[in-house]
Amino acid sequence: MQRKHVLALSLATAALASVAVYAQKGGPSKHEIIEAVSPDLPAAQSRQAAAQRKAKAMTASTGAVKAAAAPTVEDVYDVDSFKRNVTWLGLASAFINLSDTCPTDPDNPDELCQVLAPAPGFTSFNFEDAAHITLPGKSANSLLCYWFSPVLNVNYANFGATPTYGRLRYSPTLTIENPVLDDPALIDPTTGAPFGGQFLTSMTASESFVVPLDPGVNFTERTRDSAVCMAGFVSKRALTDNYGLTDAQAKEFFKQPTTIRLNVSGSAQNVGFASMVFGLRVVGDER
């Protein structure tokens, strides 16, 4: 038997394009939409505008030595965390099963489970607060970053008489809670409403598996990979540039306790069962 395994790490518009396959089942969830505006994606910068800003900064400097000593956004992008040590800030894991019956392990209170629709129907799943980490105030200086490590055991099966595909897709997002976001004057640009103490963001770590299945094919596959942050799921820069906080509010954000909640949504088709473990480790820049 020949089979092709397609694994795609979805980023921004690519994430929304992959959702189109499932549009007939109600369209993308808020978790999938939020990936397109994630602060984890570094903003595109015009080279000409960047060169002009850098030239202006050099001119305004009292001397070339002083200008060279302070890296600019054009030099390193994230100037707030430049040369700061990485500090470990906690670990959480989510355990999610897709099965014909739930729960699969009644003695495991941490297990989350979704009953699979009979093949070839689609099964959608959405688990809010599948795992969480609460950080004390002043845990980081200006940046919170993730290491996201899924471990998947998935059974693909085709008991029909014609070739088909096995599909599994998941989209992880994070709900970020912080007292600074309780200010009713602060408006979340992704919703147009007050933050209400929190906002939803993506880790740009969605995955989509598509496996061709000949009639009678039934096999189980294990995958293990990891994704790490780019610009970070929270940063001082993103709080001001993406979410409209003032510089003082962004600094205060990192002085306050922050709770990070992992949400996982997705869908499956022609899957006999799936056991998914999602490890979330958080790191930051040392104060």
Compute the chain's Rg from CA coordinates. 22
Average pLDDT over residues 112-121: 95
Distance, in Å, from the CA atom of 267 to the CA atom of 114, rounded to the nearest integer, reads 10
Q: Which amino acid is at 233?
A: F
Query: At 253, is the secondary structure helix, strand, or coil?
Result: helix
Give the rounded distance of the alpha carbon of 165 from its chain centre.
26
State the pLDDT at residue 150. Answer: 96
Q: Which residue has the higher pLDDT, 258 or 50?
A: 258
Average pLDDT over residues 264-279: 97
Cα-based distances in Å from 13 to 17, 18, 159, 239: 6, 9, 34, 22
Query: At 280, is the secondary structure helix, strand, or coil?
Result: strand
Distance, in Å, from the CA atom of 18 to the CA atom of 167, rounded to the nearest integer, reads 12
Cβ contacts of residue 86 below 8 Å, gap of 6+?
145, 283, 284, 285, 286
Domain spans in the chain, listed from the N-terminal domain onward = 17-41+83-285, 43-76
State the pLDDT at residue 211. Answer: 97
Distance, in Å, from the CA atom of 89 to the CA atom of 143, rounded to the nearest integer, reads 11
pLDDT digits (tens, 9 = 90+) for 53-69: 555 555 555 555 445 56
pTM of the predicted protein model: 0.79
In this predicted structure, the answer to whether residue 197 has a pLDDT above a threshold of 90 is: yes
State the pLDDT at residue 162. Answer: 96
Q: Which amino acid is at 234?
A: V
Average pLDDT over residues 167-173: 96
Distance, in Å, from the CA atom of 66 to the CA atom of 89, rounded to the nearest integer, reads 34
